[in-house]
Structure 1
Amino acid sequence: MAGATRSLGCRRLLGTHLKNLLHTKHCVLFDCDGVIWNGDKAVAGAPEVVSLLKKRGKSVFFVTNNCTRSRDSYLSKFSRLGFCDVVQSDVVSSAYCSAIYLRDMAKVQGKVYVIGSDGVYTELYEAGVPVVGREPDVPGATIYDCPLDSDVKAVLVGYDDKLNFLKLAKACCYLRDPNCLFLATDGDPWHPRPRGRVSPGSGSLAAALETAAERKATVIGKPSRFMFQCIVSRFGVDPARTLMVGDRLETDVLFGRSCGVDTVLALTGVSTLQQALGYRDSTDPQGAACVPDYVVDTVADFLPALDEER
């Protein structure tokens, strides 16, 4: 089906078409922020959609670049917002996948210096990956006299609202070693905040360090394929029978397209229909990779098709 529709893109999913599409899919991937919730409020109908998909025997995963929470913390939020049947293995975050990459793919033999928040540290601890970076700095310490750990073999950058110059400087020193691995949890440039405000994302923090270290980070989160590979390797998911639902064209849709799955843009988050149509009508080949196959106003649009399904 993907090959038959991608030449057009941005098709509205309604009625029988939506029901038929869901019938062909055994797995649905959801982004979280802007798709199933906004801040601390669930998108109307989203808990019911997730529950009905699971009752219909579909595999459901939540693929999020938000690295600030551990999977257990996500479970608490799901429960609080009315998602009653989500389990830990459903949650695939950039923090969790970064830990898996360091442990199982890179097989780092040493410590990881972390710029990040609780979610990253927790997932690394649970994966058995030794870390440094959380220790309080000595008051008045500078890059000229602060201690550096000689056993650091990787630097991981995630969202850190306590970022300071000394953290960046330490990371830059570690990355002077060409054998020191350089990872970013995700490349999100910014995040929407209440009242129309925004905050820098992990991608902007990683970009600062990339400039200072004169190196490029390996990005673990969307649109990198690694998060999908984690799901495939553990659950045997078939890309042809998978649907990706997201709100950000340059991450969620690009991620889905690069993984060979059909994509749906939900208009409850960052990207707009006008932006999607702009990519569709552009001659830029890079923009073409950000064109969603389908568009819905909200994931609640799935409800009629799921209610009718037998």
Structure 2
Amino acid sequence: MSRSKCTLLSGALVEQLLDSVDSVLFDCDGVIWRGDQAITGASEVINLLKEHGKKVFFVTNNSTKTRKMYADKMSSLGFNVTADEVFGTAYCCAVFLKTVCRLEGKVYLMGSNAMKQELEAVGVQQVGVGPDHVSGQPIDWANVPLDPEVKAVVVGFDEHFSYMKLNRAMQYLVQKDCLFVGTNRDTRLPLEGGKAVPGTGCLLQAVETAAQRQAQTVGKPNHFMFDCLAAQFGVERERCLMVGDRLDTDILLGSNCGLKTLLTLTGVSTVAEAEAHRDSGSAERQGMVPDYYVESIADLLPALQG
């Protein structure tokens, strides 16, 4: 399959690519759904891939849902999915703390109830979920009560992010043996109609700035997300395809892990952006160039139905 990068995937090339892989990883928002609506043909593609004996997984940087919540959403949209096929950052962060960091102690969590549930599911206790309001004076803030059992600060998407939470995280992280983990560095969450809101990366950068420390991240494009599912399911990277709509997370994850990559144009990134990376002459930017692109993953349907 000799070819140049960023090739339109069509015709016989679709079948050749599918024959070359045993496992397919999909990003979610912008790839298989937008908001609460499935992308036309996406559920058929997923279900037919499984019927053809392919392993299918879902990898998302969104930390606001548990694996079960994602599986329930997908099932309601017509996808044949089980919770153990879903690898979100809430779950992967919990696994990272338990297996890689071998954390013994509590987590100060700037995140969602879903993250709390995933942490507790692996036996990690947390404090911090919910609002934390400012009171007193700066000297009181600097001496805010801390839980002595907290051994890690974890930052995910937190709708209750506040000055006091930022301060409390900083006070924990002044202790050099306190671990510092973030779910992902996505700076914006794209919405329908070209709108966007600040993403977890903005919150994480604020904590990093205050603490004067860099966090380890588990989400895309970090390879841990792939390592996590590969360890559980025996996936061979040489026969694996990553499908996503973002060059800087999905496609870069695939490149970082030695996977084949496919950009779908139903989400954030464009072919023009991919070609600009390809033609830049920058080795660093080559990782954001997909092997292939399609208008929509529904373009895989003819090959799967044939």
Same fold, TM exceeding 0.5? yes
State yes or no: 1:73 paired with 2:69.
Answer: yes
Matches of residues 152-167 of structure 1 in structure 2 within 5 Å? 152-167=150-165
State yes or no: 1:131 paired with 2:129.
Answer: no
Quote how far apart the aligned CAs of 1:146 are: 3.6
Counterpart CA distance in 2 for 1:169 and 1:43 is 41
- Under a length normalisation based on structure 2, what TM-score does the superposition of the two structures give? 0.96
**Amino acid paired to 2:123:** G
1:148 maps to 146
2:189 maps to 191
**Amino acid paired to 1:122:** Q
Counterpart CA distance in 2 for 1:196 and 1:255 is 24
Deviates more, 1:37-46 or 1:190-199: 190-199
Counterpart CA distance in 1 for 2:9 and 2:141 is 55
Encode CA deviations 1:117-156: one digit per residue, 9 max, x unaligned. 1221111111111101026547736624642111110011
Counterpart CA distance in 2 for 1:44 and 1:197 is 22
Q: Structure 1: which 4+ aligned runs deviate by more than 6 Å?
A: none
Say which SS state the counterpart of residue 143 (structure 1) adopts.
helix
Query: 1:95 aligned to 90, 94, 109, which one?
Result: 90
C-alpha RMSD of matched pairs (Å): 1.4
Counterpart CA distance in 1 for 2:232 and 2:194 is 39
Contact 2:133 2:162 in 1 (8 A): no
Counterpart CA distance in 2 for 1:194 and 1:135 is 27
Quote how far apart the aligned CAs of 1:196 are: 2.2
Counterpart CA distance in 1 for 2:205 and 2:143 is 25
Quote how far apart the aligned CAs of 1:160 are: 1.1
State yes or no: 1:176 paired with 2:171.
Answer: no
Distance 1:277 1:137, change over 3 A: closer
Counterpart CA distance in 2 for 1:248 and 1:139 is 37
Matches of residues 27-106 of structure 1 in structure 2 within 5 Å? 27-83=23-79, 85-106=80-101
Counterpart CA distance in 2 for 1:261 and 1:135 is 38
Gaps of 5+ in 2: none
Counterpart CA distance in 1 for 2:142 and 2:287 is 45
Counterpart CA distance in 1 for 2:158 and 2:270 is 27
1:242 maps to 240
Distance 1:17 1:136, change over 3 A: closer
**Amino-acid identity (%):** 48
Counterpart CA distance in 2 for 1:119 and 1:105 is 21
Encode CA deviations 1:84-113: one digit per residue, 9 max, x unaligned. x20011101111010001111111111100
Deviates more, 1:142-151 or 1:67-76: 142-151
Quote how far apart the aligned CAs of 1:158 are: 0.5
Say which SS state the counterpart of residue 199 (structure 1) adopts.
strand
**Amino acid paired to 1:86:** V
Q: How many residues align?
A: 303
Distance 1:139 1:277, change over 3 A: closer
**Amino acid paired to 1:286:** E
**Amino acid paired to 1:81:** L
- Under a length normalisation based on structure 1, what TM-score does the superposition of the two structures give? 0.95
Counterpart CA distance in 2 for 1:307 and 1:97 is 34
**Amino acid paired to 1:56:** H
Quote how far apart the aligned CAs of 1:201 are: 1.0
**Amino acid paired to 1:64:** T
Distance 1:185 1:30, change over 3 A: same
